[in-house]
Amino acid sequence: MPYSLDKLLVIGISSRALFNLEVEEAIFQDQGLDAYRQHQLAHENEILKPGAGFALVKALLKLNQLTPDKRLVEVVIMSRNSSETSLRIFNSIAHYGLDISRAVLAGGASLSSYLQAFNVSLFLSLHEDDVQAAINAGVAAALLYQLAENVVDLEQIRIAFDGDAVIFSDEAEKIYQSQGIEAFEQHERENAKKPLPEGPFARLLIALSYIQNNFKAPDGRALPLRTALVTARSSPAHERVIRTLRAWNIAIDETFFMGGVNKSAVLAAFKPHMFFDDQHGHCVHASSVVPTGRVPYKQD
């Protein structure tokens, strides 16, 4: 019987997002495909260092170890490499003991068309075109920033999200950007009891909440998964967020209404394996302290 990915949390990640391939990317950009190919073949037994998405992938794969009778997470390598140049990636996966067995090796082609085929719930990459195409196709996706230097290998899996244009739609964000803070606050007061529409990461958050609430380790303990909402909103725009999460039957573990205060200090204290935000400026600051991914706006 074929193996089904339908009921799994499937993470699609590019090889550059999982491992640090910046030297190799520079060779490709400066010297071309053949020089890149020769470099990878010559160094295929050298282990790659972790990349921007490594900590999150390693943490999520621990869920499978904690639920041996039920696999919860599948990770698929989605690479623009060809099979010929991919051995270094697989050797590095084996070195770190990552439970990854599936891969798309597209040979330079776009990866977005394969996301639905593998039922991908979250796509992580350093290639902006692929991330944008994934978002346009309705798949949660983020462009990762360079790895923060002080990532802590915590036993507890921690993921942090911005609100508008990430968990929630960009409806309110557009009002703020086009009409200013007063119009935004007035709109949120008037719609406080109306749930916000889902954003690109809503289904991912719902899936994580389902895992938290429905699976336990063999010893009966809850799975070590913790989520946080770190939003620029503050009173009076907080009420609609709270009511929306209640309507979705989701309880986020920690919530921070920042009111425009820089998010970096809170993120450094929370120590997420990944923080997702839609604003480049926020991501630049956050990526100095925690792994960070930018969620682009959907293009029609």
pLDDT digits (tens, 9 = 90+) for 64-101: 999 888 899 999 999 888 788 889 999 999 999 999 99
Residue 39, pLDDT score: 86
3-state DSSP call for residue 151? coil
**Quick one: pLDDT at residue 216?**
86
What residues in the chain have per-residue pLDDT under 50? none
pLDDT of residue 151: 62
Can you say whether residue 259 is alpha, beta or left, with left for phi > 0 and alpha for psi between -120 and 50 degrees?
left
Catalytic residues: 162
β strands within the chain, DSSP E:
9-13, 73-79, 102-105, 122-125, 140-144, 157-161, 225-231, 254-257, 274-277, 292-294
The hierarchical CATH code for the domain 9-144 is 3.40.50.1000
> Contact at 8 Å (CB) between 276 and 165?
no
Domains 9-144 and 157-294 share a fold: yes
Taking Cα atoms as reference points, which of 127, 86, 89 lies closest to residue 107? 86
Closest CA to 253 of 170, 175, 157, 166: 157
pTM of the model as a whole? 0.92
| pLDDT tens figures, 283-297 | 999 999 999 999 999
243: alpha, beta or left? (left if phi > 0; alpha if psi -120 to 50): alpha
Closest by alpha carbon to 112, among 95, 129, 99, 100?
129
Query: Domain map of the chain by residue range?
Result: 9-144, 157-294
Cα separation of 215 and 165, whole Å? Answer: 29
Domain 157-294, second-level architecture: 3-Layer(aba) Sandwich (3.40)
